[in-house]
Structure 1
């Protein structure tokens, strides 16, 4: 989590949503940086409202705006699956080695999740459990350019975001029946993703110029 006191902005570090890249780019200009231990770095919206917001109000009671990224639920689980497929987890209960993506999602949807599938929920991370409140400015992960533009306008400075802490590249597919189960069981995650700022459609000319440059 990153806090900008003068700009009255709190940036939440949603797991598997580019939080390390944001931290590296923005930490030097932040007033408060929660990092290191995942329980601290990935402070939930509920915990922020419970404690940290009240702490910040001691110094200035002007309301803080909040913002975060959210990933499509299936893509988010794919990122966790790939991350836990890494060699650094070989032989541990968190490893997904030897498992298909279908098996991983099956385990995630189980009533009792095994350790490798216990990765939480974006909706629980970003939503207050009692009030249903969420962050003020929520952007989809595939609207990263728009999110970066929002931050640059709010912070009144430009910065570069480099891809860091990325998962192993793997082509994943999910069977149709599991995709339907996931959407049904994780209705809150899908609804929150659908409510977030989507990427702006590219003009044909812009897409053509980008294709030429790639």
Structure 2
């Protein structure tokens, strides 16, 4: 076991006990390494820097989960970084595909009426999204328009994952109700204004 890894493990243990000094030392020791891994995968310095900060916040929260049997501290950080890079690349690709689909011209065979109808549907969904309670809107928007995971939303919203799932469920229910009331979806019965 290298001296550097032993020091990394010591810092992780102290971080697990809430030490800010240990976190700062850990960041100084490994930030350049994490940044290089992220930049190699993302090819964007700003994205890599942003992801680097996310990795260290996650490392601070999950320091106790480090297991030396599964590899060095650098390996642990590299796995976390690569995983988050892949998540970010998938989200970016999905967003680009949605934007291209929304911006694309009508395909051959699509009528002007169908194109206009699709645009009206998108506008209607945006409008009814503004009519549901803010926590539900934030959860639904994050899950379906920003492709965030339940865990990411729970972290962003500072709520338990179960609460986030409930907010998404109630939000979708309220969206369906409002869409039905505008004549765009099924029947307008029910609705749940729970936060």
**Short-chain TM bin:** under 0.3
TM score, norm. by length of structure 1: 0.20
Structure of larger gyration radius: 2
Higher helix proportion (structure 1 or 2):
2
Higher strand proportion (structure 1 or 2):
1
